[in-house]
Amino acid sequence: MSKDKTTVLDAKTIEIYEEAGDQHMLTTIDTPMRADAFDLSDDEKVEKIQNHFKEIMDILGLDLTDDSLKGTPYRVAKMYVKEIFGGLNPANKPKMALFDNKYQYNEMLVEKNIVLQSTCEHHFLPIYGKAHVAYISSGRVIGLSKINRLVQHFAKRPQVQERLTIQILEDLKKALETEDVAVYIDAKHMCVSTRGIKDNASSTITSAYSGAFKNENTRKEFLTAIHSQQDY
C-alpha cells in the first residue's frame, strides 16, 4: 500500500510534536480556530467526522459490521460536535444577563466546586476536576448558575488548562463589568495518567487573578473559602 507523503513525519517533527504534548505547551490565549470554522453546519460536520472516524476504526482493524461497533462512528461524531466540543461554537455560549445589585452586596461572592470536564488538545483525552470562581460586584450581578454554564462552555473545547483558566477569567470580567475576578482550577489529565509518565495521583492547579484579587489578603480570603470543608 502506497503512503501519502504528506502524512509521513520526519524524526525532528515527531520530536517537536511529542515535546509540545508532554510539556502541555500553548501558543495562544484564544482557542486556535480557522476563519472558515463555521462554514459547515453541525450536521455536516457530524457526517464528515463520522466518515473519517469510520476510516480510523477500519485502519485499526475493527470489524465495522459488528452490531456493537457499526454505530460508533456516528456516535463519536455527534459527541464531538454537539457535546464535548460544543463550546467551540460561539452560538452555544450562554447568555449572561446582568441584574442590579439591589441588596448592595459588595463583598466577595464565591462559586466553588464547579464540576469541570474538558479535553486535552494534545492527545484528545479527558481533563476532569473542579473550578472555583469568585467576583466582587461593581454594581451588577448575574445568576449563580450562569457562572457554572460559562465554565462548562469554555471547557467544552480542546483545551490547555492554562488557557481555559484565563479564558474564564477574561470572559467573566467582561460579563460582570468588573476587574475583580478570580479563577482557580484543580484538575487531573488522563494524558498524564494513562500514557507517558502514567501518574494517576497528581493533579494540575492553575489560577488567574485580577483587580482586587491581586491583593494578598483578598486572594487569601478566596483561597481559604475554596479549601474549606462543608458538610451538607
Set 122, 132, 152, 167: catalytic member = 122
Phi and psi dihedrals of 129, rounded to 5? Answer: 175, -145
Set 50, 152, 161, 167: catalytic member = 161
Active site residue 189: yes
Active site residue 191: yes
Active site residue 123: yes
C-alpha cell at 139: 454594581
Active site residue 121: yes
Phi and psi dihedrals of 143, rounded to 5? Answer: -65, 145
Active site residue 120: yes
**Cα→Cα distances 104→90, 107, 141, 172, 216, Å:** 32, 9, 10, 20, 24
Set 50, 159, 167, 191: catalytic member = 191
Set 120, 132, 152, 159: catalytic member = 120
Q: In whole angstroms, what is the distance from residue 119 CA to residue 80 CA?
A: 11
Set 123, 162, 170, 221: catalytic member = 123
Q: In whole angstroms, what is the distance from residue 130 CA to residue 117 CA?
A: 8
- Tell me which residues are annotated as active site: 120-123, 161, 189, 191
